[in-house]
């Protein structure tokens, strides 16, 4: 049973608009979350993270929101750019300090 779920396999957004990628988790003990971005034929690269003591973390165009009561986090990209087209993975750190990954969401930015 997947503990980290990204229910949208793909998302298409117009260039310049906001992209919102969602992630749900089931384990309330998770206390650190990360987003990674992956281009084809490359390894994932770290994008942004958030600790459970916060509800928001910003880095430039990227903002991650955490709603612990709903066990939900989201990644906002504003404004979306063509180079943002990639697969985005949500990951959570478990009590063994191992990362539990979602299945990923493919983001397509349309010109």
Partner 1 sequence: DAGITQSPRHKVTETGTPVTLRCHQTENHRYMYWYRQDPGHGLRLIHYSYGVKDTDKGEVSDGYSVSRSKTEDFLLTLESATSSQTSVYFCAISESGGVAWSYQETQYFGPGTRLLVL
Tell me if 7 contacts partner 1 by CB under 8 A. Answer: no
Which residues, in sequence order, are CB contacts of 87 under 8 Å at separation 6+? 37, 38, 39, 104, 105, 106, 107
Q: Segment near partner 1 (CB under 8 A), from 11-19, 35-43, 60-68, 77-85?
A: 35-43
Tell me if 104 contacts partner 1 by CB under 8 A. Answer: yes
Nearest residue to 71 via CA among 4, 32, 14, 25: 25
Exactly one of 61, 103, 106, 108 binds partner 1 (CB under 8 A); which one? Answer: 103
Tell me if 86 contacts partner 1 by CB under 8 A. Answer: no
How many separate helices (H) and strands (E) can be counted in the chain?
Answer: 0, 11
Distance separating alpha carbons of residues 108 and 31, to the nearest angstrom = 29
Distance separating alpha carbons of residues 100 and 32, to the nearest angstrom = 11
Exactly one of 57, 65, 68, 101 binds partner 1 (CB under 8 A); which one? Answer: 101
- CA quadruple 108, 18, 65, 45: dihedral positive or negative? positive
At its nearest, how many Å lie between partner 1 and the CB of residue 71? 17
Exactly one of 26, 27, 51, 67 binds partner 1 (CB under 8 A); which one? Answer: 51
Binding site for partner 1 (CB under 8 A): 2, 4, 6, 32, 34, 41-46, 49, 51, 89, 91, 93, 97-99, 101-104
């Amino acid at each position: 049973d997947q503990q980290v779920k990204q229910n949208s396999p793909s998302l298409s957004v117009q260039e310049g608009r906001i992209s919102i990628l969602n992630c749900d988790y089931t384990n309330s003990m998770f206390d650190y979350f990360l987003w990674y971005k992956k281009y084809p034929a490359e390894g994932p690269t770290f994008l942004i993270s958030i600790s459970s003591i916060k509800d928001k973390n910003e880095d430039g165009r990227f903002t991650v929101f955490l709603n612990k009561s709903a066990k939900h986090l989201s990644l906002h990209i504003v404004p979306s750019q063509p180079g943002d087209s990639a697969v985005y993975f949500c990951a959570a750190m478990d009590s063994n300090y191992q990362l539990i990954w979602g299945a990923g969401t493919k983001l397509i930015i349309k010109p």
